[in-house]
């Protein structure tokens, strides 16, 4: 029972040690190195076992990209034998097993294999073999790239191709990138890149290719190096020709203007270089060039006669032209519109007219009223009543007071014109009681003593 149990236990413990320590015995922080040519490189190794309790034996060997394999160092804990040809070039570090390359050259590229046997100096006498591979590339930092354009001058849209080249004086494994107005450019129907992106062919060139170009060069040991910016100028157009006017009334291609009004028309088109413009009148049977330039000035008195005009834009570099035709109709657009177009304040003139006419009407009305019913009379009759009503208590008291009051009235109101005023004023002066008074003042006086209860008392 015991005999069979022991070996099983040993195997278990060995397996445990193996799996437990295997991942920890050596550690290589970086398995890929991008070295810079001329600079040292340390292939660093961390030993994670007590070196005093183990014996080690191992090799560093180098495999070039071409496949040639060389043993660089053979070492134990006590000694290290470096390849004769590389004694000054390599430095083997003890007690850990890091390898330092003193001055990197392109030849140092490739895979570095570390093979290490570790024998523990305890009862088990276990030997563990460790193998690691470190990949090393050696690059030259990138110098500032130089950008070139062919052709060097401006090009005509759709007729030319442009080739951009980006080159560096120094640098290995350089990757190029192209940007227009700081936006990275990608492959498309018209954008063709060389394998390493060092050239960009734009074929054919279009309006939208206009802009500022630069290239960026980078490699594993250099941040992106930017070239200077070069402008690409593209001649194009004319596009989107338009005729506009701030005056007149526009409906589609028809402008309606007031007779005698001075109207300006602007002709605009997108073009590089700027277009030359020609204005053509087609009002008569024959076409006739009226003027040149982007602006046309028209003053027409010929009412209700449609005139045809044409603006023609011509780009003398692209040799392309575009034209827009429009019709001019002279018609009265109405005072409101006219006033509106002439001076900026559309409300005030109209308001002034209304106020003026209202004032005139008011004056006339006032005059009419003055003529037909004497205002003094009406006023008087209105005053009459409350005045007499105030005196009411007196009336009731005695006859003598009332007769005295009426005497004053006779003095103020002038008889004579009364008859003519009576019919029209009756409606204005609201008063049944007054009717009695207005017959004549004399009547009132006469009547008061006879019928005091009717008009003065309730
Ligand atoms: C290995 O040893 C060298 C020299 O003692 C030391 O500079 C280096 O840091 C060590 N490397 C590691 C990974 O411990
Ligand atoms: C531009 O390139 C195209 C091919 O992409 C070629 O057919 C054409 O002739 C070139 N045009 C000029 C002006 O070089
Ligand atoms: C205008 O031209 C047409 C032919 O193009 C001709 O028949 C007509 O008589 C001409 N009218 C005038 C006013 O010249
Ligand atoms: C094109 O037109 C501009 C004026 O718009 C003029 O200055 C220039 O000389 C012309 N170029 C050619 C090639 O005709």
Look up the CATH number of the domain holding residue 172.
Answer: 2.60.40.10
Question: Ligand 1 pocket, 433 CB below 6 A?
Answer: no
Question: Which residues lie below 8 Å from residue 396, measured CB to CB, with a gap of 6+?
Answer: 457
Atom nearest to 98 CA in ligand 1: 1
Question: Which residues lie below 8 Å from residue 164, measured CB to CB, with a gap of 6+?
Answer: 147, 148, 149, 150, 178, 199, 200, 201, 202, 213, 215
Question: 312 alpha carbon to ligand 3 midpoint, in Å?
Answer: 23
Question: 253 alpha carbon to ligand 4 midpoint, in Å?
Answer: 30
The domain boundary, picked from 183, 212, 232, lies at 232
Asked if 324 and 428 sit in the same domain, the reply is no
Asked if 26 and 102 sit in the same domain, the reply is yes
At 138 the pLDDT is 95
Asked if 117 and 151 sit in the same domain, the reply is no
Closest CA to 74 of 58, 95, 88: 58
Residue 281 lies in a domain: yes
User: What sign does the CA torsion over 333, 336, 337, 342 have?
Assistant: positive
The domain boundary, picked from 232, 253, 269, lies at 232
Residue 349 lies in a domain: no
Asked if 33 and 131 sit in the same domain, the reply is yes
Residue 401 lies in a domain: yes
Question: Ligand 2 pocket, 74 CB below 6 A?
Answer: no
Asked if 329 and 254 sit in the same domain, the reply is yes
Least distant ligand from the CA of 317: 4
Provide the CA 396 distance to its chain's centre, in angstroms: 92
Least distant ligand from the CA of 92: 1
C-alpha distances in angstroms, 123 versus 22, 49, 294, 440?
Answer: 18, 16, 103, 157
**Residue-by-residue pLDDT tens, the chain, 458 positions:** 344 445 554 544 444 444 444 556 899 999 999 999 999 999 999 988 888 889 999 999 999 999 999 999 999 988 999 999 988 899 997 777 999 999 999 999 999 999 999 998 887 888 999 999 999 999 999 999 999 999 999 999 999 999 999 999 999 999 999 999 999 999 999 999 999 899 999 999 999 999 999 999 999 999 999 999 999 999 999 999 999 998 888 888 899 888 888 899 999 999 999 999 999 988 667 788 989 999 999 887 777 678 889 999 999 999 999 999 999 888 887 654 444 444 434 445 556 566 657 766 776 777 766 766 554 444 444 444 444 444 444 444 444 444 444 443 433 344 444 444 344 434 333 444 444 444 344 444 444 444 444 444 44
**What is the rounded (10 degree) CA torsion for 92, 93, 99, 100?**
-90
Total residue length of the chain: 458
Question: Ligand 2 pocket, 128 CB below 6 A?
Answer: no
Asked if 134 and 175 sit in the same domain, the reply is no
What tokens appear for 282 in the block?
Answer: 């087609």
Question: 183 alpha carbon to ligand 2 midpoint, in Å?
Answer: 25
Question: Ligand 4 pocket, 71 CB below 6 A?
Answer: no
Residue 13 lies in a domain: no
Question: Ligand 4 pocket, 319 CB below 6 A?
Answer: no
Which 3-state string (H, E, C) describes the chain? CHHHHHHHHHHHHHHHHHHHHHCCCEECCCCEEEEECCCCEEECCEECCCHHHEEEEEEEEEECCCCCEEEEEEEECCCEEECHHHCCCEEECCCCCCEEECCCCHHHCEEEEEEEEEEECCCCCCEEEEEEEEEEEEECCCCCCEEEEECCCCEECCCCCEEEEEECCCCCCCEEEEEECCEECCCCCCEEECCCCCEEEECCCCHHHCEEEEEEEEECCEEEEECCCEEECEEEEEEEEEEECCCCEEECCEEEECCCCEEEEEEEEEEECCCEEEEEECCCCCCEEEEECCEEEEECCCCCCCEEEEEEEEECCCCEEEEEEEEEEECCCCHHHHHHHHCCCCCHHHHHHHHHHHHHHHHHHHHHHHHHCCHHHHHHHHHHHHHHHHCHHHHHHCHHHHHHHHHHHHHHCCCCCHHHHHHHHHHHCCCHHHHHHHCCHHHHHHHCCCCHHHHCCC
What tokens appear for 140 in the block?
Answer: 């030259």
Strands 32-36 and 127-139 come out as parallel
Asked if 241 and 309 sit in the same domain, the reply is yes
Asked if 27 and 134 sit in the same domain, the reply is yes
Asked if 25 and 73 sit in the same domain, the reply is yes
* Count: domains in the chain: 4
Question: Ligand 4 pocket, 316 CB below 6 A?
Answer: yes
At 341 the pLDDT is 40
The domain boundary, picked from 85, 119, 139, lies at 139
Task: Give the C-alpha separation, 396 to 92, whole Å.
Answer: 146
Least distant ligand from the CA of 202: 2
Least distant ligand from the CA of 287: 3
Asked if 245 and 276 sit in the same domain, the reply is yes
Q: Whose CA is nearest to atom 4 of ligand 2?
A: 203
* Burial of residue 304 (number of CB atoms within 10 Å: 0-12, 13-18, 19+): exposed
Residue 452 lies in a domain: yes
Residue 129 lies in a domain: yes
Question: 241 alpha carbon to ligand 4 midpoint, in Å?
Answer: 19
Largest separation between any pair of C-alpha atoms in the chain: 166
Question: Ligand 2 pocket, 161 CB below 6 A?
Answer: yes
Range of the domain at 160: 146-232
Asked if 55 and 132 sit in the same domain, the reply is yes
Q: Whose CA is nearest to atom 14 of ligand 4?
A: 316
Asked if 105 and 172 sit in the same domain, the reply is no
Question: Ligand 1 pocket, 44 CB below 6 A?
Answer: yes
Residue 7 lies in a domain: no
Question: 396 alpha carbon to ligand 1 midpoint, in Å?
Answer: 137
Residue 345 lies in a domain: no
Task: Give the C-alpha separation, 405 to 201, whole Å.
Answer: 118
């Amino acid at each position: 029972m015991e005999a069979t149990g022991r070996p099983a236990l040993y195997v278990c413990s060995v397996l445990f040690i193996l799996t437990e320590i295997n991942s920890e015995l050596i550690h290589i922080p970086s398995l890929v190195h991008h070295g810079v040519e001329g600079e040292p490189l340390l292939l660093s190794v961390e030993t994670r076992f007590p070196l005093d309790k183990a014996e080690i034996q191992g090799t560093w060997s180098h495999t070039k990209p071409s496949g040639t394999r060389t043993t660089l160092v053979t070492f134990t804990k006590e000694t290290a034998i470096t390849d004769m040809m590389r004694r000054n070039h390599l430095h083997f570090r003890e007690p850990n097993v890091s390898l330092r390359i003193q001055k990197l050259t392109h030849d140092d590229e490739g895979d570095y294999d570390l093979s290490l046997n570790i024998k523990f100096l305890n009862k088990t006498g276990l030997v563990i073999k460790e193998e690691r591979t470190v990949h090393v590339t050696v690059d030259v930092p990138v110098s500032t790239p130089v950008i070139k354009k062919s052709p060097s001058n401006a090009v005509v849209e759709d007729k030319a191709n442009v080739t951009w080249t980006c080159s560096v004086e120094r640098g290995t494994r350089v990757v190029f990138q192209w940007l227009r107005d700081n936006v990275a450019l990608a492959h498309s129907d018209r954008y063709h890149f060389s394998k390493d992106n060092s050239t960009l062919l734009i074929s054919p060139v279009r309006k939208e290719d206009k802009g500022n170009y630069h290239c960026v060069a980078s490699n594993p040991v250099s941040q992106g190096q930017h070239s200077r910016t070069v402008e690409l100028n593209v001649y194009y157009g004319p596009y989107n020709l338009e005729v506009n006017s701030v005056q007149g009334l526009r409906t589609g291609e028809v402008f309606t203007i007031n007779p005698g009004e001075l109207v300006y028309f602007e002709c605009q088109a997108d073009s590089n270089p700027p277009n030359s413009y020609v204005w053509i009148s087609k009002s008569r049977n024959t076409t006739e060039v009226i003027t040149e330039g982007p602006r046309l000035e028209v003053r027409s008195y010929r009412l209700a006669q449609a005139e045809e005009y044409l603006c023609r834009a011509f780009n003398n570099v692209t040799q392309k032209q575009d034209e827009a035709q429009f019709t001019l109709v002279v018609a009265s657009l109405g005072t409101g519109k006219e006033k509106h177009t002439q001076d900026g304040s559309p409300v005030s003139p109209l308001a002034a007219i209304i106020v003026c006419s209202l004032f005139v009407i008011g004056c006339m009305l006032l005059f009419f009223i003055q003529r037909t019913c004497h205002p003094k009379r009406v006023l008087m009759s209105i005053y009459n009543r409350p005045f007499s009503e105030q005196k009411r208590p007196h009336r009731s008291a005695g006859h003598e007071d009332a007769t005295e009051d009426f005497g004053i009235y006779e003095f103020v109101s002038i008889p004579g014109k009364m008859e003519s005023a009576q019919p029209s004023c009756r409606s204005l002066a609201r008063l049944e009681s007054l009717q009695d008074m207005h017959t004549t003042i004399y009547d009132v006086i006469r009547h008061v003593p006879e019928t005091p209860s009717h008009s003065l008392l309730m």
